[in-house]
A = this chain, B = another copy of it.
Amino acid sequence: MEGDLAHIGAGLAAIGSGAAAIGVGNVAGNFLAGALRNPSAAGAQTATLFIGIAFAEALGIFAFLVSLLLMFAV
């Protein structure tokens, strides 16, 4: 048995990256559901859509960053 336990941690962190995509999908999915129900209001909420995506995506990128740090910097 060889290898570094940090590599198991890197794989676990990547699960967090994928889990964040569930949040991103929830934001974009609900925007689409609402925008298709009331298209005239969609333009005014586009900024909110990107704010929601950005905050959820950031957490996934943090998890990806932890993966990279565990593989190459620790």
Interface of A is mostly: helix
B57 contacts A55, C-beta separation under 8 Å:
yes
Number of copies: 3
Q: Which one, B24, B32, B56, B70, contacts A34 given CB within 8 A?
A: B32
Q: List 27 A-B contacts (CB under 8 A).
A: A2-B2, A4-B5, A4-B74, A7-B74, A10-B13, A10-B70, A10-B74, A11-B70, A13-B14, A14-B16, A14-B62, A15-B18, A16-B18, A17-B20, A17-B60, A20-B22, A24-B52, A25-B26, A25-B52, A32-B52, A33-B33, A34-B34, A42-B48, A61-B62, A66-B67, A66-B71, A71-B73
Which residues of A line the B interface, CB within 8 A?
1-39, 41-42, 44-46, 48-49, 51-53, 55-64, 66-71, 73-74
